[in-house]
Amino acid sequence: MPIGCAPTRGVSTSLDTNGNGESRTDWRREEIAELFDLPFDELMWEAQGVHRRHHARGEVQLCTLLSIKTGGCVEDCGYCSQSKSADSGLKATKLMDVRAVLQAAAQAKDSGSKRFCMGAAWRNPKERDMPAIVEMVEGVRQMGMETCMTLGMLTKDQAQTLAVAGLDYYNHNIDTSPENYENIISTRTFQDRLDTLEEVRNAGINVCSGGIVGLGETRTDRVGFIHALATLERHPESVPVNALVPVKGTVLGDMLADTPLAKIDDIEFVRTIAVARITMPKSMVRLSAGRESMSEATQALCFMAGANSIFTGDKLLTTGNRGDNADAALFAKLGLKPMEGEEPLRASKSLEAAE
């Protein structure tokens, strides 16, 4: 599609692929900015077309997220209630017992979840904790669920250890644009994030990486955030898009409280989902934190824009979530169904390996 031209309805523009049918990784910021600027109906039309070319229609992956080690993190992420620098009243805990984690995973599976994600509030995991982490990964995999971990920054050896254990995905969000990053976090750099993603990728683990919108950033920052992910040598297999949940006692929660910036505009959030879908066509785009405050109409637009993964349950790490019953009711209203098999990319990857 030529820059400056809106897509033509009813005609596949192949905007999302190169001449060989592969996902593009050569996006320019100007192109992404023009996608954001498209008339809303045209943007949604294009995003839905891309989605249907690469994903099952009307299916949404159900994932569960569990905090296996809460609070006491030495990082100073301005949005996070688990940071030691936050005055959120959250008490730090030790790493959960393996048996308790596996019990939670079994309950999640019974509720229909296909992926079980485990998060620890660490700058990076300590070697003494790796055996328990490995046991968790192996135990969840034995249940037939996909596994995901988010433990902070990883060394090469730690990434290899998780790969040997069979970890399917590793989550490490870039959070925001490279230019806005230092306004949000000072205890590590944007490059630190990319370095961990590289270690994960080199170890053969699928990458889960996204970010947060509603941090008080500009649209230019949202363009930069999408650009950073869409120009990686290989797109993340999962891209979670979070809407900031302003928590009292955090830097951003207090800064944005009672201001128009405390909640991102719903249409702008949907636009971000749509642009992520177009620029990373084969990735699972996950509608993540912030759903508990979204209307059903906003969530419906997000699914139409190409979101095809959500977190279920009543809690996401330390913030609230909509809950299984509310999600089931919404799915029934929209005619959506939980994804039954493996996430499409993993399934196709397994077939290629078998051949």
Q: Are 306 and 285 in contact (CB under 8 A)?
A: yes
Q: Which of 208, 222, 277, 302 is catalytic?
A: 208
C-beta neighbour count of 74 within 10 angstroms: 13
C-beta neighbour count of 274 within 10 angstroms: 29
Q: Which of 115, 117, 222, 322 is catalytic?
A: 117
Among residues 335, 283, 331, which one has the least CA distance to residue 306? 283
Angle (CA) 143 206 36, round 5°: 120
Burial class of residue 332, CB neighbours in 10 A (0-12, 13-18, 19+): exposed
Q: Are 326 and 78 in contact (CB under 8 A)?
A: no
Q: Which of 80, 115, 277, 322 is catalytic?
A: 80
Q: Which of 286, 291, 302, 322 is catalytic?
A: 286
Q: Which of 24, 73, 193, 302 is catalytic?
A: 73
Active site residue 117: yes
Q: Which of 24, 63, 77, 271 is catalytic?
A: 77
Active site residue 80: yes
Residue by residue, what is the 3-state secondary structure of 122-156?
CCCCCHHHHHHHHHHHHHHHHCCCEEEEECCCCCH
Q: Which of 24, 63, 115, 148 is catalytic?
A: 148
Q: Are 23 and 235 in contact (CB under 8 A)?
A: yes
Angle (CA) 252 296 273, round 5°: 60
Active site residue 77: yes
Active site residue 286: yes
Q: Cite the active site residues.
A: 73, 77, 80, 117, 148, 208, 286
